[in-house]
A = this chain, B = another copy of it.
């Protein structure tokens, strides 16, 4: 399985690297939300992170590494939160509904971050892009597994090769809540949106 991409650093202390990169990512996300990756300068990121441009480059090899770090971080956060919310109890279908609900809530909560990620990934160099897509596949797998459990428990009627598709639909509809917010938030609350999409996704499949 594809592991994380190794971002080069001149600094040896791994703990320090972790701390500084966290500062960096935090600052970068704020800026990327505002102006996008390309319009944000490395100096701005350094300043926002609270250190000098020289220090910034002690912890990365190139500007694109920051974008990778940001994407990586957001995925990590999303899946960490999602895994924490996943229930071990209840019927498979109940667990799937909960997963959807949790995922949509997380996406709503991290709206800016998720939006940034989906808008900027394409700026990643090819190799990094692979790593990030891998994360997306892992997210899908989490849902696929629960869906498969529903199928096995006869709670959902989805053909084998469509499990994957359903998982993607869930993910996309979650993201849709962020990148269509200009249209959706005016008319629906998150809860309404969740209910409706859940219905749509699962009703016909009972």
- Given the complex, which residues of B lie within 8 Å of A183, measured CB to CB? 133, 136-137, 140, 164, 168
- Given the complex, which residues of B lie within 8 Å of A122, measured CB to CB? 36, 119
Chain A binding site: helix, strand, loop or mixed by DSSP?
A: helix
Q: How far is the CB of A177 from chain B (nearest CB, A)?
A: 10
Can you show 28 pairs from A to B with CB atoms below 8 A apart?
A: A36-B122, A36-B123, A119-B119, A119-B122, A133-B182, A133-B183, A137-B183, A161-B187, A161-B188, A162-B196, A164-B183, A165-B184, A165-B187, A165-B193, A168-B183, A168-B184, A169-B200, A172-B172, A199-B204, A200-B200, A200-B201, A200-B204, A200-B205, A202-B204, A203-B203, A203-B204, A203-B205, A204-B205
- Given the complex, which residues of B lie within 8 Å of A196, measured CB to CB? 162, 165
B176 & A164 in contact (Cβ 8 Å cutoff): no
Partner of A176, one of B172, B182, B200: B172
Q: Does A180 contact B (CB under 8 A)?
A: yes
Known A38-B38, A204-B200; judge A180-B172 contact (CB<8 A): yes
Q: Does A173 contact B (CB under 8 A)?
A: yes
- Interface residue ranges of A136-152 to B (CB < 8 Å): 136-137, 140
Nearest B-chain residue to A159, judged by Cβ: B196
User: C-beta contact mask, A48-84 vs B, less than 8 Å → 1, else 0?
Assistant: 0000000000000000000000000000000000000
- Interface residue ranges of A76-115 to B (CB < 8 Å): none
Nearest B-chain residue to A10, judged by Cβ: B43
- Given the complex, which residues of B lie within 8 Å of A137, measured CB to CB? 183
